[in-house]
Structure 1
Amino acid sequence: MVKLTENRHTFLSCEGIWKSIGYYTGADGEIFTIEGESRIRKERSELIAEIKFSAISGNSMMVRHKFKIIPEVKKDDARWQTALICGIQMDGRIMYMNEYIFLLYQASDAVFSGVENLEMVSETHYKNHGYVFMHEKKIAAWILDWHRVG
């Protein structure tokens, strides 16, 4: 078995404020420049992440979601749950592997699912790529740069 390095991630692992800028495309293929903010705070034994994005080019768009990160004791992964993303209950896993964080998630009805990766460039900078699917059809994709600001 391969031994992974200890989780040293600063995004989705500890409290902080992060800003992002990048690109988003929906099912119609239109590309938007987006900016976002993530506020991560500790509440009991969980982390609460509140993330919002808005378009700064193209059509107006706003996405907001809030989710709980529930760490697994002495493991390289965590569970996460969100109340709603665009009206849909999502649950997933966060896996920490060396300089990468992988997120897999799915709606309780299995219609929607998604996958993301975050690459740690430094303790204050992550590159993020993600996709959301409705059944087998890709309906959204994004590329973001996250920078810690607080």
Structure 2
Amino acid sequence: MSVDKRKAPRSGGRTAAQHQTIGNTALQPESTESRPARTQSWLRVAPPLPVSVPRTPFIALILVVVVGGVLGILLVNTKINENAFRLGKLQESQSALDIQEQQLKQEIATAEDPGTLIAAAKKLGLVPGTPAQIRLPDGRVTGVPQPANGQPAITSQGAGR
């Protein structure tokens, strides 16, 4: 091969006279004259065929996950609101029970007042005095039994007879 000095490239590559191929040279096989003879043919591994995965199951899975997540969030939100209403009702009930407890404590304090106890005893027909007591396990009497001396109240049970 002779190199033509008039057409020498600036970058030091081949000249058009040295390289006369048409089209893409990377895909064209080299000539057999410049290669040593081989017994094997020139085979190359072809790139794998593109794998086409069906998209329908994947899209269905994504939709199921998204819809399930949204429904789960709605369910949790509904339960939270339901529990908030229940909590409000229980707080109202608790305040009503607190008021009722205060009223009952006030009634007990009024009933334990000594003046109220004396009035209730007179209403039942009891009179003041020192009573005698009988111990139940052995039947022993403590104190001297005496008849009550006093007028029973008008509202007592024996007053109407």
> What TM-score do you get using the length of structure 2 for normalisation?
0.15
- RCO (CA 8 Å, sep 6+): is it higher in 1 or 2? 1
Normalized per residue, the structure richer in strand is 1
Normalized per residue, the structure richer in helix is 2
> What TM-score do you get using the length of structure 1 for normalisation?
0.16
Radius of gyration: which is bigger? 2
